Amino acid sequence: MKTLKVAQSAGFCGGVARALKLAEEALVQHGTCWSLGQIIHNDDAVQRLEATGLHTAKHPEEIPDGATAIIRSHGASRAVIEGLRSRGVTVLDATCPNVRHIQDLASDAERRGRKVLVIGDAKHPEVIGICGWCEDAAVVENESELMKWLEEEPARKDFPLTLVFQTTLQRKIQRNCEFFSKKLCTNAEVFDTICCTTSIRQEEAATLASSCDAMVVIGSPQSANSRHLAEICRAHCNNVQFVANASELDVHALKGADTVGITAGASAPAWIIKEVKQKMCDEIRTETIEQPETVTELEEKIEAEKSFDELLEESIKTIYNGQTVSGFVAGITATEVTIDLGTKHSGYIPVSEFTENTNSKIEDIIHVGDPIEAVVVRVNDVEGTAMLSKKRLDAVRYWADIEAAYENGTVIEGTVTEENKGGVVVSVNGVRVFVPASQSGVARDMPLTDLVGQTVRLKITEVSGRRRIVGSIRAASREERHAKSEKIWAEIEIGKHYSGVVKSMTSYGAFVDIGGVDGMVHVSELSWSKINKPADVVSVGDELDVYVIGFDKEKHKISLGYKDPNANPWVMFTEKCEVGSVVNVRIVKLMPFGAFAEIMPGVDGLIHISQIANRRIGKPEDELSVGQNVDVKITNIDNEKQKVSLSIRALGEAESSVKYDEESAADEPVGPEEDALVYEVSASGEATGIAPEDTAE
């Protein structure tokens, strides 16, 4: 081996370094503490910490009540964290900010009624934690599993899907999943949540492996990002070793290589990287060692780990009033939130900045370990403190958001806080926006008070300095409705289902808003049973699951169905009954030529006058009355016309309620049995049609 190349991104990422720092501080302060799962995926580093008092718990139940517990950078579910706090456990949250961002995306997606789909390893603690911040999330590992998941239930392609990715996933898998989801799904939003450090590390590994004769990847087999690095290197180099430490390195396998590259996963400590490199240098003569092309030299990067005190001294830097700083919540009291800025100054923010305009407790808003940004208000070098303000920083950023929304014409969200003269006031992240009554979306004769407390969407229509900002809820609603309408007309097809709201009703049907477009459900499509008017089934404001049965794009008309096809009474009837079956029916209408009887709700049959008794009768009401229940025999079923012929006479003398009079029956002719099928019944229950001439008189 002549040349050794070390990847400049090898080693700890920011999230892992933060978790270890938090663990070291906790051990100094408490003497002993617990980690829920290995603090990092590296046995050597974990053993070092365990020797100083860090205990590893595989399950939350193993952590004693009242103890101090660290949530590692992979994060944990909401239920786990709340469960620990309910037992008096002091929770130090070292969740990586990138992972926390995914958890927030999942939680927000659930709040908006969307289905969360996580692309990653279902058994990885990061993915398990993400799924714990929403209900019923689905997990697939790659693009092939995504395709299979969509094909298992075709309706999933129309789900409102939100896709997020495990932070350490291979970039290739992310790109493929994003491509297929946008191609196959009608309502999918995709968030690229792969850690930028991971992407850089993977790209660098691919480039390095392509230029080397051999590669050494340092990392634990339990580390997902380390495994992915090894997979990427193997795709570009035939000689790849994946080792946890120097003892696993096979130096002899490297002797024939002129150029060897080294990279390491995010959980590989600097001292292990140095040991591997040193072993290669000691046992194989090298002429050149290429250093990474960064300001910080490799030797400085992989020095033996420094103590916390040395790192603290190294991080001392000056801060000044008006500067924007970032840090992590180190402690919370009744009056202030302490912020670790990584400097000699200890920052603090008054609790009132977090709890103002809310009834929530500070513990419900922010937690120890949360990342935070703020503006320096006042520095006290004597006491070593810095007063910070998150509110001021937010105000600057939110004002910029307001101006951007005005310039770009984008829709923003806020909460109506009060009714004002001539309109209402909407708070958009603390910025007051006035909405005139004419732009509120409320009818002129309706009170504006009902809007107070509601979350609304609006467009900014006027910005006059910082004193006056005017918005329009009506404009936002109109624009969003138009966009939804265009989307519906572009994607509409027969049989497609929509969730809609009943907007109005007429005597012949109900108009349903399916999200920007109104469609009509005819009265005949509202129920399988006979109804007189739409109000018998639905009311204005009802949410309905409807489906398209017809549409005209030119006339912008949509016909919708509401009846459940699975509840079709004719199908249910034909499954239970057949010609020759004896059923008990209820007489619902009497006509000169016979009686209509309800076999089951939605299915009626005709008992022709010649089939009512075993003798000639003058009219049906001589033997039957409306509401009477009688046993009949099914003599014919016409599936095409959905008509049923019934007969009391066919039951025979023993089953009939009327005795058979052979003489009277013989004296009078009886029309053909098929005459019983000549009838029609309207949707309102009125019988029409022509009765047989020999019996209609």
Per-residue pLDDT reduced to its tens digit, 616-672 = 888 999 899 999 999 999 999 998 888 999 999 988 744 444 443 444 444 444 444
User: For residue range 97-124, what is the model confidence (pLDDT) as tens digits?
Assistant: 888 889 989 998 998 899 999 999 999 9
- 360 pLDDT higher than 90: no
CATH superfamily name and code, 315-393 = Nucleic acid-binding proteins (2.40.50.140)
Supply the pTM of this predicted model: 0.40
Task: Give the chain's radius of gyration (CA, Å).
Answer: 38
Q: Which residue has the tokens 């290739």?
A: 172
Q: Which helix (H) or strand (E) holds 483?
A: helix 473-491
Q: Kindly compute the dihedral angle of the four CA atoms of residues 264, 270, 272, 277, in this order, to the nearest 10 degrees.
A: 70
Residue 401: CB atoms within 10 Å: 17
- CATH topology for 570-688 is OB fold (Dihydrolipoamide Acetyltransferase, E2P) (2.40.50)
CATH of domain 14-93: 3.40.50.11270
Report which of 523, 544, 545 is spatially closest to residue 534, judged by C-alpha positions.
523
Residue range(s) occupied by CATH 3.40.1010.20 in the chain: 97-194
Please give the structure tokens belonging to residue 47.
Answer: 């053993």
Indicate the DSSP class of residue 64.
P
Any idea which architecture 492-567 has in CATH?
Beta Barrel (2.40)
Report which of 396, 369, 375, 385 is spatially closest to residue 325, judged by C-alpha positions.
375
User: For residue range 285-299, what is the model confidence (pLDDT) as tens digits?
Assistant: 554 454 444 434 434
Report which of 671, 531, 670, 676 is spatially closest to residue 596, judged by C-alpha positions.
676
Does residue 493 or residue 11 have the better pLDDT?
A: 493
User: What integer pLDDT is reported at residue 565 of this predicted model?
Assistant: 65
Above pLDDT 70, what percent of the chain?
86
Any idea which architecture 409-478 has in CATH?
Beta Barrel (2.40)
- 402 pLDDT higher than 60: yes
Residue 85: CB atoms within 10 Å: 14
Any idea which architecture 97-194 has in CATH?
3-Layer(aba) Sandwich (3.40)
Above pLDDT 90, what percent of the chain?
24
User: For residue range 241-257, what is the model confidence (pLDDT) as tens digits?
Assistant: 999 988 899 988 888 88
User: For residue range 3-50, what is the model confidence (pLDDT) as tens digits?
Assistant: 888 887 777 777 787 788 888 888 888 888 999 988 887 777 788 888
User: For residue range 42-87, what is the model confidence (pLDDT) as tens digits?
Assistant: 777 788 888 888 899 989 999 999 999 999 888 999 999 999 999 9
Q: Which of 126, 143, 275, 525 is catalytic?
A: 126
- 674 pLDDT higher than 80: no
What number of H helices and E strands is found in the chain? 18, 35
In whole angstroms, what is the distance from residue 186 CA to residue 165 CA? Answer: 20
Strand segments (E) across 421-454: 423-428, 431-436
User: For residue range 138-187, what is the model confidence (pLDDT) as tens digits?
Assistant: 999 999 999 999 999 989 999 999 999 998 888 889 889 988 888 889 99
What confidence category does residue 317 fall into, taking pLDDT thresholds of 50, 70 and 90? low
Q: Which residue has the tokens 């239970």?
A: 576
126 is catalytic: yes
Residue range(s) occupied by CATH 2.40.50.140 in the chain: 315-393, 409-478, 492-567, 570-688
Measured CA to CA in angstroms, residue 387 lies from 320, 325, 337, 347, 526 at distances of 11, 11, 10, 6, 65
Strand segments (E) across 150-226: 161-165, 188-190, 214-218
- When the pLDDT of each residue in the chain is averaged and rounded to a whole number, the result is 81
